[in-house]
Amino acid sequence: MQWISDTSAGDWLRKRLDDPWNATMHDVVPHGFPAYARILHPGIVRSLPDRPVPTYDEYDAMPEAERLALVDQFIDEPVTWAETASAFGTTLHPLAQWQRIVRTPPDADWNLRLSPDGREFTGPMEGEVSPEMLSAIAGHLTTHTTTPDAGFAALWEGRGGLVGHMGHSPTRLFITFNDEPNHQAMLDRSIHDPLNNAFRKPTWQEGILSREISEGPRFRLPGRDHVLFRGTVTDFARPDWVLDVPWRDRSGEEHGFPPSAQSPSILWPDDHAWVMVSEIDYDSTIVAGSAELVAAICADERLEAFPIPENADLTWDADEVNR
């Protein structure tokens, strides 16, 4: 994959979106494909081996030693929407919404809910899929295009310090802990220093991508600006694709984090046979393509996916079944 400054390759896609936004998935997913698949992002379930997960009030009331011992017993695992719906006694269906699945009361936190059986469920990641999940999806995508070695990946510019900027504050901070007094004093000064920023000249704050790319042209869609890359879509069918993309987070690795890279927000091949969209506010990824492609994705046991109709409503309050 290589960055390209000419974003005209995405003009066809922009023309198939609703603008102004029309409260259907076609705010971000193009019209005009034979079929559509919705691939649900997994949530996280936390459990204890021999007791329900305590509420926050119960946890705060525990003696400190008991709290520390409890933390070591927590088991965090990915969880499907089907298992989540079973735990909460709700119905999973193609247009389900997570906050309805977990029976969120008005004004309550939908992202962290305790099920009747005492397990704690955390909502799916929005706008992002794991390297393994993308690899599974891409394995199907590459067999349903005549141009698997030529395509485009668009990344939303606003996630994870991807691009640099002119300013006073770093794109992101890596905080390290050190008992050395001089180090702590320097850290304390840096934390309070924003009070003086108004009198300083802005400087370039590095992002994951180079300054040339950060300041370069954007692939602009309604409400979303993206950095566009050109290359082979077959690369994403490998679980270790993060090692080779130009937006690999090498700064994070220098600070001790494992190799990582933002998953594409939009992916399509040269022949426009399909489009994959991981909208930043969606808890699912949408693939638009042929009926055969959608059937293959929905039949893959590694994925939790459903066929959905054109003009499907995936907005926050669209789940009519679990009201």
Domain boundaries, the chain: 2-41+127-165+207-308, 43-122
User: How big, in percent rounded to 5, are the helix, strand and coil portions of the chain?
Assistant: 30, 20, 50
């993308």: which residue's tokens? 134
Q: What does residue 103 show for φ and ψ, rounded to 5 degrees?
A: 50, 55
**Residue 48: what pLDDT?**
83
Quote the CA–CA distance of 144 and 140 in Å, as a whole number: 7
- According to DSSP, residue 124 is labeled P
Residues of the chain with pLDDT under 70: 56, 168, 170-199
Tell me, what's the pLDDT at 201?
Answer: 84
Tens digit of each residue's pLDDT (9 = 90 or more) over 127-177: 999 999 999 999 999 999 999 999 999 999 998 789 987 786 766 655 554
Task: Tell me the three state secondary structure of residue 117.
Answer: coil
* pLDDT at site 184: 55
* Residue 218 confidence (pLDDT): 97
Neighbouring-strand partners of residue 114: 120
The pLDDT, as a whole number, for residue 316 is 84
Alpha helices for 261-316 (secondary structure H):
291-299
Residues 6+ apart with CB under 8 A from 161: 171, 172, 207, 208
Report the predicted TM-score, pTM, of the whole model to 2 decimal places. 0.87
Q: Identify the pLDDT of residue 248.
A: 95
Whole-number pLDDT of residue 249: 93
pLDDT of residue 192: 53
